[in-house]
Amino acid sequence: MASSKIPHVAVIGAGIAGLRCSDVLARSGVRVTLFEARDRIGGRVHQLESGGHLMDMGPNWIHGTKGNPIMHLAEKTGTVVMEPEENQALFDTEGKRRSDAEAVDLSSKLWEMIVDAFKYSDEQSAEIDPQLSLYEFFKSKLDEEKGLDRRKRDDLLHEAQMWGPFVGDAVERQSLKFFFLEECIEGENVFVASTYKNILKEVGRTATNKEKVNLRLQTPVAHFDTTHSEDNKVTITTSSGEKATFDDIIVTCPLGWLKHNHVNAFTPPLPPRLAAAISSITYGRLEKLYVTFPSAFWLSPSNDQNDPADLSSYPIFTHFHDPTYVPHAKDEAWNQSVVSLAHLPPPASHSTLLFYIYGACGTHLVNSIKDLPQHSEEYNTKLNTFAHPFYSLLPNYNPTTPSCKPTSFLATTWQADPFAGNGSYCNFQIGFEHGDEDIECMRDAGGLTDQGLWLAGEHTAPFIALGTTTGAWWSGEGVARRICKKYGIDVAKEEDAALEVNGVNGEIGKKELDKEKMDGANLSGLAI
């Protein structure tokens, strides 16, 4: 029942969900203490410098521009974004560059199959075997095509594996049954050229204001106790043993953290249905590698003295199909999706190649460098050993030319980061039986909201924003609004009218999703 009480609320985790939740609560007059295990805000939205340039270690993209609050924040903060050309270069499994026509043909055919798979998943989810993978769907579609020669079929299956970086793990393990949950907001997917730095600063403006929020950095929370005392409080215990009581607690820790810790971190134990949901939903293993060169050797020189490189001479995207020329286990696809940051609009452009590395390949890379100091000689050598077989295939490469020798390396190691949950963002793999119900269960914290425990994060987002920064924002806002409603508190109006909630507030369900069918061409991915 609503009351006039002003509650004291603990928000656990200063990622996008925690920052947005704290912002809405604090501006509405709620007393907020925000606990963050790291020495900074942002969670997986984070930047580091390499080669004199700032690099996003977390998300690079904004998924869908129509009514997307993150896109609005980009515009508000002067963040430079770009909608990349869809053309790509393609190197086959032997390291031979295919013609541009072949690359376009294979990519177009893959997207046709992606759209078919999305529609099939959306319409037939209830009947689909939970063990059926997206990759098996692709194989079956190709088996139905008459006159398809073996080479073209193999090419298409290798191109299908390029979906791995979108979901952060192998397409062979991607659930067909719940592939429809990969849908995202309408509009284009745009690359955040000048990084998320200014967006993060704006999102964290309230949380870093000492007069509005009590921000506790470097304070990991290890335990939550919802065994109510006479004053109806819930209790947290930090890793140092400090205890504190609150009226409500919002846990925005990543899904991976919940999976690793939910058994021991909650008293009493979480309800079986909630524990099952946390255990069932999977998360990806997407990592990033930035390789910076003195100049973008893969581009041809321009005749214009004011423009030293011809951006039209080579596309922004390069796909490397699973390489036979790089030793690795045969049952692990090591295909690479690479973005040329030289194609970004100035002044954001720089001569860097961004590798999206996922699954077993990502695990291999992380294990090789996780204990090494960044930018140390051994660190650089390990990363160059990995990247060289790929970048050495690019146009104009010459091992004796200084412009072809990397000057800096930087890679993510999210799989070795316990605060990130040892992985990236949520995805939906084979064996998943009750996907939409599991997500809805987490949104309601298994019924524990009445006891003061709430969950938020990209894994509890609206279906059209799962696994994205936008989803984290909406989930944090949705919980904040529900807490205000619980205590009869009016939610503060936004200082920026364009950020007023537009009906997608973390409580959307599949029925609502069905009202706005998409064509499947705008699917989520590369969220981290």
Say if residue 505's pLDDT is above 70: no
Q: What percent of the chain has pLDDT over 90?
A: 87
Mean pLDDT calculated for residue range 393-411: 97
Is the whole model's pTM more than 0.75, yes or no? yes
Say if residue 201's pLDDT is above 80: yes
Find tokens 């947290």 and name the residue. Answer: 236
Task: State the pLDDT at residue 497.
Answer: 74
- pLDDT range class, residue 184, cuts 50, 70, 90: confident
Q: Please tell me what DSSP assigns to residue 150.
A: H
Asked if 218 and 203 touch (Cβ cutoff 8 Å), the reply is no
- pLDDT range class, residue 342, cuts 50, 70, 90: very high
Asked if 289 and 338 touch (Cβ cutoff 8 Å), the reply is no
Name the class of domain 8-43+197-281+432-515: alpha beta
- pLDDT range class, residue 167, cuts 50, 70, 90: very high
Q: Take residue 399 and report the two structure tokens written for it.
A: 């091992």
Map out the domains of the chain as residue ranges: 8-43+197-281+432-515
Q: What percent of the chain has pLDDT over 70?
A: 93
Task: State the pLDDT at residue 305.
Answer: 63
pLDDT tens for each residue of 68-92: 999 999 999 999 999 998 889 999 9
Query: Can you list the alpha helix ranges (DSSP code H) found in 303-407?
Result: 359-369, 377-391
Mean pLDDT calculated for residue range 135-149: 93
Mean pLDDT calculated for residue range 297-304: 85
Task: State the pLDDT at residue 512.
Answer: 39
Asked if 82 and 195 touch (Cβ cutoff 8 Å), the reply is no
Angle, CA 152 vertex, CA 147 and CA 154 arms, to 5°: 120
Helices (H) and strands (E) in the chain, counts: 14, 24
Spatial separation of the C-alpha atoms in residues 289 and 383, rounded to whole Å: 8
Q: Please tell me what DSSP assigns to residue 234.
A: E
Angle, CA 288 vertex, CA 285 and CA 293 arms, to 5°: 160
**3-state secondary structure at position 347:** coil
The contacts of residue 392 (CB under 8 Å, 6+ apart) are 399
Ranking 100-114, 439-453, 508-522 by mean pLDDT, the lowest is 508-522
pLDDT tens for each residue of 35-79: 999 999 999 999 999 999 999 999 999 999 999 999 999 999 999
Asked if 486 and 505 touch (Cβ cutoff 8 Å), the reply is no
Average pLDDT, the chain: 92
Mean pLDDT calculated for residue range 429-458: 95
- pLDDT range class, residue 5, cuts 50, 70, 90: confident
Spatial separation of the C-alpha atoms in residues 264 and 254, rounded to whole Å: 16
Spatial separation of the C-alpha atoms in residues 471 and 120, rounded to whole Å: 24
Task: State the pLDDT at residue 86.
Answer: 82
**CA R_g for the chain:** 23
